[in-house]
Amino acid sequence: TAVAPRSWRLFGAMCLLRLPRVTQPLEKEEEEMAALMGQIELEKSHYSDYEIRKLGEEELLRKRKESMYDDDEAPGKTVIMAQDLEEKWEQKFLQFEAAPRITDADKNNNRTSLNRKLDSNLMLLVKQKIGNQEQWLLPQVEWQPGETLRSTAERAMATFLGDHIQAKILGNAPYGIYKYKFPRAIRTEDNVGAKVFFFKAFLQSSDLSQTELKEDYLWVTKDELGDYLKSEYLKKVNRFLLD
Amino acid sequence: MSLQSVSPHALCSFSFLSSCSPQTVPFRGSHWQTSLLAFRASLPVRAQPKKKKKVDVKREQAQKDRMKKKIKKLEKAAPEMIPIEDFVTPLKYSDSNRVRSLPPLSYEETERRVLLMKKWCLFKQKQDKAEKQAIRSLLEAQQEALKELRLESEELYQAAIRRDEGLFPFERDGPNYTPPLPGYDPPEGKCVDITKVYTQ
């Protein structure tokens, strides 16, 4: 069976997402609501065992203060008060230092590092040569006959990040398409333009120290895409990106 | 045979003293009996011999039937319901001393709460709309891509709409409040599970 010559060249591109590692800060309404919910829960609740113990101890202390010369059983007997426990816990908590939510990479605005913007999605952009221009694009590679588009996208990922990348590709179907016609100079009968099919994947491995990226690469959030991508391309890409 | 020849002499005197009529002289019932104790094939016993076999068999069978009936009755009874522990309030929490004593809410506070609820309602509605719009645009983009792919080649399209078996079950650890601390050594401990397990 003769295969009709294709007029459009096919490319498979991979949109690799690093999922957020840290929760996003709450909005103003959300914070107010959370506080209100806490208050309502407190009002509707009963005393817990710990609170009853605390109240009992407060009563004891008050009674002891009022009747100063009333010696209870053994003043040397050390009873651990709930207040002391709380202070101990507080001290322990202050000694612990958690990792910062805003990392150094954030402060330096180092866009090549994966540790930036831990509360949002980061995607990979690479500088590729299209025609005779170097452009920032999602990593793409031309489709070879005999492979599915998904494997093209996987190949694109492997060429830029190496074979040992662990990513979960979300399904066999493409998420978006960008169609463009070649400029009249190189346009021929069977080379009208190109169709770039986008696939989405989640990055599983957290460190990419083993990979050697040959060309320039960047990890950017959805808002920063506008700094690098062309407007038409950006419009198509934004359609399949959830923030 | 040799044993028989030795023992009668030793036990002869016994049988004289222990038998019911000491006056009777032991004699052979017939010339086929070589010794006195051959009459009794076993050693002398005092207890009554057991009852006949038929009554035992009947009694045992009756016992077995009774047991089977009991087992059937137990099995027919409906299985006990397993209590849901979340729905049963333990009695110690319904004590009156547990009730919290707080000052009643002021008018401003109730007003503030009502207004906040309304603002929250609006906020959530906008959020939901935005989410649904995002999902809609996602679907549209995918449909467009598939349409274009179909125009290009049928086999690629078929490969694209095939189900991805390796995708589900999809597991992922959610985001935490702070990123993981490198080189953190968590304190050791043992977790003992004390949940009550019910069997029906």
pLDDT for A146-167, tens place per residue?
A: 888 888 998 888 888 877 778 8
Q: What is the pLDDT of residue B7?
A: 47
Predicted pLDDT at B28: 58
Q: How confident is the model at residue B130 (pLDDT cuts 50, 70, 90)?
A: very high
Residues B189/A196, Cβ–Cβ less than 8 Å: no
Higher pLDDT, A219 or A5: A219
**Which tens digits make up the pLDDT trace of B81-94?**
888 878 888 888 87
- What percent of chain B is predicted at pLDDT more than 90? 31
Helix B107-152, helix A231-239: angle, nearest 10: 110
Cα(B17)–Cα(A193) distance, integer angstroms:
131
Whether A89 and A153 map to the same domain: the answer is no
What count of residues does chain A have?
243
pLDDT, position B6: 45
Same domain for A83 and A133, yes or no, is no
Helices within A24-103 (DSSP H only) = 28-44, 49-66, 82-95
For residue A100, is it within any domain?
no
Point out the least confidently predicted range of A83-87, A136-140, A213-217, A218-222.
A213-217
- Same domain? For A39 and A157 the reply is no
Mean pLDDT of B132-161: 92
Q: Which residue has the tokens 């690098």?
A: A228
Q: How confident is the model at residue B134 (pLDDT cuts 50, 70, 90)?
A: very high
Contact A11, A196 (CB under 8 A): yes
Q: What's the confidence (pLDDT) of residue A210? A: 54
CB-CB contact of A141 with A128 (8 Å):
no
Q: Which of A67, A95, A123 is the last residue of a domain?
A: A95
Question: Chain A partners of B181 at a C-beta cutoff of 8 Å?
Answer: 98-99
List the beta strands (DSSP E) in chain A: 8-18, 122-130, 133-137, 140-142, 167-169, 176-181, 193-203, 217-220
Query: Can you tell me the mean pLDDT for A104-126?
Result: 84
A112, A10 Cβ separation under 8 angstroms: no
Residue A74 scores a pLDDT above 60: no
Decide if A177 touches B, using CB distance below 8 A.
Answer: yes
Mark which residues 97-136 of A lie under 8 Å from B by CB: 98-101, 103, 118-119
Q: What value, to the nearest 5°, has the Cα angle with vertex B97 and ends B92 and B103? A: 135
Whether residue A117 is found in the same domain as residue A151? yes
pLDDT of residue B19: 46
Beta bridge partners of A133: A130
CA distances in angstroms from B122 to A202, B100, B127, listed in the order given: 33, 33, 9
* Residue A175 to residue A15: CA distance in whole angstroms: 10
Q: Is residue A104 part of a domain?
A: no
Return the percent helix, strand and coil in chain B, to nearest 5.
Answer: 55, 0, 45
Q: Is pLDDT at B63 greater than 70 in this prediction?
A: yes
* A2 touches B: beta carbon within 8 Å: no
Q: What is the pLDDT of residue B18?
A: 46
pLDDT at B48 over 80: no
3-state secondary structure of B136: helix
Kindly state whether residue A3 falls inside one of the protein's structural domains. no
B169 or B2, which is more confident? B169
**Alpha-carbon span B146 to B163, nearest angstrom:** 14
Compare all CA atoms of chain B with the CA of A41 and give the residue at the minimum distance: B100
pLDDT value of position A4: 60
The model's pTM is 0.71
Rounded Cα–Cα distance for residues B115 and A32 (Å): 11
Give residue B17's pLDDT: 44
Last residue of a domain, one of A95, A126, A148: A95
pLDDT at position A148: 86
What residue ranges in A56-166 does DSSP mark as E strands? 122-130, 133-137, 140-142
Of the candidates B29, A146, A145, A166, the one whose C-alpha atom is nearest the C-alpha of residue A154 is A166
Of all residues in chain B, the percent with pLDDT exceeding 70 is: 75
User: What does the CA dihedral A63, A68, A74, A77 come to, rounded to 10 degrees?
Assistant: 70
Instruction: Please check whether residues A75 and A115 belong to one and the same domain.
Output: no
Alpha helix (H) ranges present in chain B?
2-18, 53-76, 107-152, 154-161
Whether residues A49 and A153 fall in one domain:
no
Do A152 and A65 reside in the same domain of the chain? Answer: no
Whose tokens are 């008060």? That residue is A81
Residue A172 touches partner B, C-beta closer than 8 Å: yes
- Those of residues 17-46 in A touching chain B at CB distance below 8 A are 19-23, 27, 29-30, 32-33, 36, 42-43, 45-46
Please check whether residue A62 lies inside any domain of the structure: yes
User: What tokens does A155 get?
Assistant: 């190949």
**pLDDT by residue (tens digit) across B98-108?**
788 888 889 99
Mapped onto helix, strand or coil, the DSSP state of residue B68 is helix
Q: What is the pLDDT of residue B184?
A: 86
The residue range of the domain holding A70 is 28-95
Contacts for B84-89: CB closer than 8 Å, 24+ residues apart:
B85/B196
With beta carbons under 8 A apart, name residues in chain A contacting B172.
Answer: 19, 202
Q: Can you give the CATH number for the domain in which A118 is found?
A: 3.90.79.10
The least confident of A128-142, A158-172, B11-25, B121-135 is B11-25
Position B34 confidence tier, pLDDT thresholds 50, 70, 90: low
Band of residue A81 on the pLDDT scale cut at 50, 70, 90: confident
Question: Distance from first CA to last CA of chain B, Å, rounded?
Answer: 66
Q: How far apart are CA B182 and CA A208, in angstroms?
A: 16
Q: Which residues have CB under 8 Å from B97's CB, separation 6+?
A: A47, A52
- Determine the distance in angstroms separating the CA of B126 from the nearest CA of chain A, rounded to an integer: 12
Q: What's the CA gap between B93 and B89, in Å, rounded?
A: 7
A185-204 mean pLDDT:
83
Task: Please check whether residues A219 and A177 belong to one and the same domain.
Answer: yes
A73 part of contact set with chain B, CB < 8 Å:
no
A80 with A116, same domain?
no
A198 vs B: CB within 8 A: yes
- Whether residues A117 and A231 share a domain: the answer is yes
Residues A40 and A140 in one domain: no
Percent of chain A with pLDDT over 90: 20
Dihedral sign (CA B16, B17, B19, B22):
positive
Report whether pLDDT(A230) > 90.
Answer: no
**Contacts B123 to A, Cβ<8 Å:** 27, 29-30
> Which has more confidence, A97 or B120?
B120
- pLDDT at residue number B142: 93
Distance from C-alpha of B152 to C-alpha of A7, rounded to nearest angstrom: 9
Question: Quick check: B178 and A98 CB within 8 A?
Answer: yes
Residues A42 and A159 in one domain: no
Q: Indicate the average pLDDT of chain A.
A: 84
Asked if residue B51 has pLDDT above 70, the reply is: no
Report the alpha-carbon distance of residue A195 to residue B156 in Å, rounded: 14
Q: Pick from A42, A119, A195: which is nearest to B148 by CB?
A: A195
Are the beta carbons of B179 and A119 separated by less than 8 Å? Answer: no
Taking CA–CA distances from B166, the nearest residue in chain A reads: A171
Q: What's the residue count for chain B?
A: 200
Test B137 with A239 for CB contact under 8 angstroms: yes
User: Cβ contact (<8 Å) for A29 and B142?
Assistant: no
Residue B31 predicted with pLDDT over 80: no
Q: How many other CB atoms sit within 10 Å of the CB of residue B38?
A: 13
d(CA A71, CA A59): 16
Q: What pLDDT band is residue A30 in, cutting at 50, 70 and 90?
A: very high
Q: How many cross-chain Cβ pairs, A to B, lie less than 8 Å apart?
A: 124
Task: Say which residues have a Cβ less than 8 Å from residue A162's Cβ, sequence separation at least 6.
Answer: A210, A211, A212
Residues of A in contact with B146 (CB under 8 A): 173-174
Confirm whether A2 is domain-assigned: no
Instruction: Examine the pLDDT at A3 and tell me if it is beyond 70.
Output: no
Res B23 pLDDT > 70: no
Q: What is residue A39's predicted lDDT score, i.e. its pLDDT?
A: 94
Number of structural domains (chain A) is 2
Classify A126 as helix, strand or coil: strand
